[in-house]
Structure 1
Amino acid sequence: MTLTTPVTGAALGRRRRFLALAVICLAELLVVLDNTIVNVALPSIGVQLRTDVSGLQWVVDAYTLTFAGLLLACGNLGDRYGRRRVMTIGLVGVAVMSVLGACAGSLGQVIAARAAMGVFAAAVFPATLALIINIFTDVRERALAIAAWTAMAGFAIAIGPVSGGWLLEHFSWHAVFWINVPVALVALVATLLLVPESRSGSTGRLDKAGIVASVVGITGLVWAIIEAPRHGWLSPVTLGTAALSLVALAGFVLWEFRVDSPILDMRLFRVRRFSLPALAIAVAYFSMFGFLFLITQYFQGVREYTPLEFGIASLPFAISVAVGAPIATLLAQRVGTTAVLVFGLLLTGVGLYLGGQVDVDSNYLLDVLPSMVSMALGLAIVQGPATESIMSSLPLDEAGAGSAVNDTTREVGGTLGVAVLGSIVASYYVGKISPVVDSIPASLMNEDEKSFARATILSVLEIRNRDIPTMIEPQREQLITTMKTAVLEGAHAASLVATGAVLLCAVVVALFLPWAPADGRATMLAWRDRDA
């Protein structure tokens, strides 16, 4: 089974190549946006389907769990059977499962649809970057294409609240599922017309054991991270699941070194221009997803914005990512990846620290906006050059597997960021709010309302809108102020943890990643020749 992928990419005219890039970015937009847009619909889903906070968390987490767990396997399948073929299957699946989600009449059906959407999204996402690598063989064009891909990923994450808020202003929560269908169909037709097929030039036997071990290990680890705040980080459930997943991952690594046709060549991690940028992406997404989690709490709980107002307020984040990624990727071609990555990580750290200093009365323009812009620019500066370094270190035959590694580090890092930083915020919030809420008479707040107030700052909106006697209005305001202060204290501690992680990563990258500009592909091929 052979396809001369570089020739196929070079044979395409410049206009055709960039049309293919636009189609690929549309498919990427669908996947990434679907990972965030549902968040703003959670309150509406909860009210209509009468579910608790735990159920709503699984509406989000079901997608993340299957998506992260299958990225590596789907990347390998794309290399083997055709990246465009696997991506089209994924687009069809996302469309079908979105219809089922929109028509769901129970929470279980919504969660099942979201989990299935994650499966098919995992087929789409690694293929997008792998196709770009095979279509764009010129170094400068490839850098531009990866910059566009990177900017689209960050932009999609940031505009989720805006698009979701607008849909909820005009339609029901079902619209966050229906919107996927036309986008997926347009991307499907355009893919078949404009995107060339590519696959690995040589394949051996399918590594079924490696696929099973990777799915079990990654899915188990992500599940443990997701569930840790609920069960406790040191609970038997969390520790047991994490231990089993680490055993599976260790077995996967050992097996991949022994098998003739591994789904992931573990020797790639010996290449510093592959492994260290992957670490930088994981830490950047740890901070970004944590930041987005905290800023959601801040805008909707502390500032009491509607979903649409929140989306509009977060637009500078999206714009900064879209502007920063292309510039950083091109700059890395001139001054080297290391210098750009270190600067981006430091800028991210500044944004995280500034975000932790925000209080109840902070000014949006003077205090909140600089934090968002610094964080977004730092993320954009890290993403593009790191992705370009990872993919340029690979032979074309392994583009799908390399893309999957790039994507898996994002998902695991992001999931860990929400879990760790969210747990820190929750511990501060619950510790300070629980005694206050417990002292409120049952005549003023029933047990369900108290439970919601203890669980999240977002309950402020419900407390604010409730009709109460005028004489106890001051007590309500005092409760709301206490809730806001508690969550911001937790956010301050979480921001320091995230800042420390980013700065430590910057030091590691500065010390161990070569500073001189280099051709990552030449480095990889030279290393392979030496190893042989």
Structure 2
Amino acid sequence: MSNQRHHGTSAENRTSVEGESSAPLSPGKPTDAGRPPTAARTSDTPAPAAPDPKRWWALVVISLAQLMVILDGTIVNIALPSAQHDLGISDSNRQWVITAYTLAFGGLLLLGGRVADLVGRKRTFLIGLVGFAAASALGGAAVDPGVLFAARSLQGMFGAVLAPSALSLLTTTFTDPEERGKAFGIYGALAGGGSAFGLVVGGLLTEYLNWRWSLYVNVPIALVAFFGALAVLEDRPGLPGVRLDVGGALLGCGGIVAVVYGFSEAEPRGWASPLVLSLFAGGVVLLVGFVLWQSRAKSPLLPLRILKDRNRMGSFATMGLATVGMFGVFLFLTYYLQVVLGYSPVRTGLAFLPMSAAIVVGATRLAAQLLPRTAPRVLMVSGMVLAAAGMVVLTRLTVHSGYATHVLPALLVLGLGMGLTFMPVYATATAGVAPKDSGITSATVTTFQQVGGSLGVVLLNTVAASAAARYITEPPRDPAQKDLVAAEGMVHGFTVASWWSAGALLLAALVAACAVTAKAPKRAERETKV
């Protein structure tokens, strides 16, 4: 081992990632200089830092904040019809309740990750919590559409600060491979299951209180997490030498926002719309400029060395493709359950609970137990193939299908697949990252997840709508059965989109199988000590 690896300048250098900690040498094994291991540790290597005694309480706080961010991605969906009626939002503008959040969140995540490295993760975490709570209160008190859209955008901005700091805090708090696996299992379960759970909470709040509480509920959660963070999170200063890359932020964030906005406008305007084409072209130009800028910047927003690691880039790509294929299921099944089967908002939300439970089981009981001794790609490929099988089950839906016979089996299989996938993706993407890059790496994982999910919903919704329109008009249908034909067309659109989702998930499995070559953490640790 080199001296650089032994002489960390701070505790953070010693505890950032697996394989980078100062593990004691094997008994009786001489060092390179021929000295006994005791002498080597005394003169060369500091003793391993003791685990943080508050690390499990820290996990509770970090998970609570992450759950709040994930919930907000879906909790407003069921409340949207009530908010639209109350505030007089037009049909053409109602999408901005969702899009304003996803654009700000996905577009600013990279910048949020670098802010965490510059200011300090705990401080950034606290700022994100306060800002998110304030923006949520503003949205809940909105008296017109403009205020609600602005509040949702602010939520996305502070969420982009909060999410990467939460993941990087988790990365630097847990260094033991087995404990780290359990922690990431819980985190992965929240990331996958929080969206479904948000539908349940949104339905309950909308039906028994009103739509404003789908935003107000974030305030007490943020306050609990804030005071918990003050008590249990270790306070570390920002890393020296980190600078904000303003040019990179403008190019990268602008490119992501342009592409996501282009996809969001493709459905109402059409793919050949001049605005849509201009947004795509402008987004590509900005993103190419971003890559060129990063290769020359002294303090880049996204160091390209992060993307050059095969396992990390494979994990990023797997996450992006997985969310492209998975996130559309919430939209389609929400409409199927409410419009076709006639479920209430609460019953619709509760119908997703088995999926959330399956995600928790897949992440914490299966993936967390298997990862220390199993290659990550084995879990990722298994999870994606399982999720694709669940999507295939959904392609068999009809207007007469029952929840217990068709929907529930698909949700259980999908949930297990998501749990098996997300946990090893998070762990592999953030493993081996230098402390100065942990914030931006965490942000990149979440960026791929958020942008993939946003694009997947828009793309699959366009596929579903087009398939439904063709079904209704070709061949000509009986006007006397207009309602039945409309329902059949909607379900046909969902089944076609489910085939596309299954294809995206199988592509994610292929990427994981080919790109992720990391060994099981326990095996890699043993080989490092030899």
Query: TM-score range with shorter-chain normalisation?
Result: 0.7 to 0.9
1-structure distance, mates of 2:291, 2:524: 23
Deviation at 1:484, TM superposition (A): 1.4
The answer to whether residue 427 in structure 2 is matched with residue 388 in structure 1 is yes
**Is 1:38 equivalent to 2:76 in the alignment?**
yes
Counterpart pick for 1:77 among 111, 115, 133: 115
Q: Which residue of 2 aligns with 1:411?
A: 450
Distance 2:165 2:54 in 1: 18
Look up the match of 2:482. Answer: 479
Residue of structure 1 equivalent to 2:168: 130
Q: Match for residue 87 of structure 2?
A: 49
1:279 and 2:307 aligned: no
Equivalences for residues 131-146 of structure 1 within 5 A? 131-146=169-184
Equivalent position amino acid for 2:267 in 1? P
Aligned to 1:269: 307
Q: Report the Cα offset of residue 45 of structure 1.
A: 1.1
Residue 99 (structure 1) aligns with: 137
Amino acid at match of 2:496: A
Q: Specify which of 209, 225, 233 is matched with residue 195 of structure 1.
A: 233
Is the contact between residue 207 and residue 263 of structure 1 (CA under 8 Å) also seen in structure 2? yes
**Do structure 1's residue 400 and structure 2's residue 405 form an aligned pair?**
no
Cα distance in 1 between the residues matched to 2:339 and 2:216 = 28
Decide whether the 8 Å contact of 2:471 with 2:492 is kept in 1: no
Aligned residue pair count:
486
Match of 2:12 in 1: 5
1: distance between equivalents of 2:523 and 2:302?
18
Matches within 5 A, 1:18-33: 18-33=56-71
In structure 2, relative to structure 1, the CA distance for the partners of 1:484 and 1:281 (3 Å cut) is: same
Displacement of 1:439: 11
Change beyond 3 A, Cα 1:521–1:233: farther
Answer whether contact 2:177 2:521 (CA < 8 A) is retained.
no
Kept after mapping to 2: 8 A contact 1:68/1:412: yes
Relative to structure 1, is the Cα distance of residues 21 and 310 closer, same or farther in structure 2, using a 3 angstrom cutoff?
same
TM-fit CA distance, 1:13: 5.4
What's the counterpart of residue 509 of structure 2? Answer: 506
Tell me what 2:209 maps to: 171
Q: Which has the higher helix share?
A: 1
Alpha-carbon displacement from aligned partner over 1:123-178 (angstroms, at most 9, x marks no partner): 10011110011111112111111111111122211111111111122212111121
SS, match of residue 173 in structure 1: coil
8 Å contact from structure 1 (residues 393, 521) kept in 2: no
State how far apart, in whole Å, the 2-side matches of 1:90 and 1:214 are.
21
Structure 1 residues 8 and 353: CA distance shift in structure 2, 3 A? closer
In 2: Cα distance, 1:75 partner to 1:243 partner: 26
2:390 matches 1:322: no
Superposed, which structure 2 residues align to 1:147-166 within 5 Å? 147-166=185-204
Distance in 2 of aligned mates of 1:206 and 1:127: 16
Once residues 521 and 254 of structure 1 are traced to their aligned partners in structure 2, the CA distance between those partners, rounded to angstroms, is: 35
- Give the share of equivalent positions with the same residue, in percent: 35
Aligned residues of 1:337 and 1:517 also touching (Cα < 8 A): yes
Among candidates 85, 108, 126, match of residue 146 of structure 2: 108
- Which deviates further from its counterpart, 271-280 or 199-208? 199-208
Report the AA paired with residue 12 of structure 2: T
1:74-122 deviation line (CA, Å, top 9, x unaligned):
1011011101111111111111111211111111111111111111111
TM-score normalised by the chain length of structure 2? 0.87
Q: 1:6 to 1:213 in 2, by over 3 A?
A: same
| Cα shift at 1:332 | 2.4
Q: Deviations over 1:431-489 (max 9, x none)?
A: 4557999998xxxxxxxxxxxxxxxxxxxxxxxxxxxxxxxxxx5xx333212100111
What secondary structure is seen at the aligned counterpart in 2 of 1:342? helix
Q: Which region of structure 1 is more displaced relative to structure 2, 345-354 or 10-19?
A: 10-19
Asked if the contact 2:242/2:299 (under 8 Å) is kept, the reply is yes
1:306 is matched with which residue: 322, 344, 356?
344
Aligned residue in 1 for 2:406: 367
Asked if the contact 1:392/1:519 (under 8 Å) is kept, the reply is no
Alignment partners' CA distance in 2, 1:162 and 1:179: 13
1:420 and 2:459 are equivalent in the alignment: yes
8 A contact 1:329–1:388 mirrored in 2: no
Please report the TM-score for the alignment, with normalisation by the length of structure 1: 0.87
1:249 aligns with 2:287: yes
Which is worse superposed, 387-396 or 315-324?
387-396
Structure 2: stretches of 5+ with no match in the other structure = 1-8, 17-47
> What's the CA shift string for 1:248-301, capped at 9, x where partnerless?
111111111112221211122221110111111111111121111111121111
SS in 1 for 2:93: helix
Counterparts in 2 of 1:323 and 1:15: CA distance versus 1, 3 Å: farther
Q: Would you say 1:290 and 2:297 are equivalent positions? A: no
Q: Deviations 1:188-223 (Å, cap 9, x if unpaired)?
A: 111111111345644244322112211111111111
What is the match of residue 528 of structure 1? none
**Distance of 1:330 and 1:387 partners within structure 2:** 15
The amino acid that maps onto 2:313 is: S
Partner Cα separation in structure 1 for residue 338 and residue 432 of structure 2: 42
Corresponding residue SS for 1:105: coil
Alpha-carbon spacing, 1:245–1:521, altered in 2? closer, same or farther (3 Å): farther
Bigger drift between 259-268 and 88-97 goes to 259-268
Q: C-alpha distance in 2, partners of 1:199/1:35?
A: 31
Q: Larger deviation: 201-210 or 323-332?
A: 201-210
For residues 204-219 of structure 1, the aligned pairs below 5 Å read 204-219=242-257
What residue identity is the alignment partner of 2:235?
A: E
- Whether the 8 Å contact between 1:131 and 1:198 is mirrored in structure 2 is no
Q: Which range moved further: 423-432 or 20-29?
A: 423-432
Mapped partners of 1:208, 1:236: distance in 2 = 30
Q: 1:355 aligns with which of 370, 374, 394?
A: 394
Once the two structures are overlaid, the 10-residue window that deviates more, 508-517 or 270-279, is: 508-517
CA gap of 1:481–1:95, structure 2 versus 1, over 3 A, is same
- What's the secondary structure of 2:327's corresponding residue? helix
- Please report how far the alpha carbon of residue 241 of structure 1 lies from its aligned counterpart in structure 2 after TM superposition: 0.7
Matched residues in 2 for 1:521 and 1:430: separation?
Answer: 53
Is the partner of 1:87 in helix, strand or coil? helix
Equivalent residue, structure 1, for 2:21: none
Q: Is the contact made by 2:326 and 2:501 (CA closer than 8 Å) also made in structure 1?
A: no
Q: For 1:492, which of 486, 491, 495 is the aligned residue?
A: 495
Aligned equivalents of 1:223 and 1:26: distance in 2? 30
Contact 1:351 1:372 in 2 (8 A): yes
> CA 1:163 to 1:300, structure 2 compared with 1: closer, same or farther past 3 Å?
same
Q: In 1, are the aligned partners of 2:322 and 2:508 still within 8 Å (CA)?
A: no
Cα displacement (A) at 1:357: 1.1
Q: Is the 1:199–1:397 contact (alpha carbons within 8 Å) kept by the matching residues of 2?
A: no
Q: Distance in 2 between matches of 1:501 and 1:324?
A: 20
Q: Is the 8 A contact 1:352 1:375 kept in 2?
A: yes
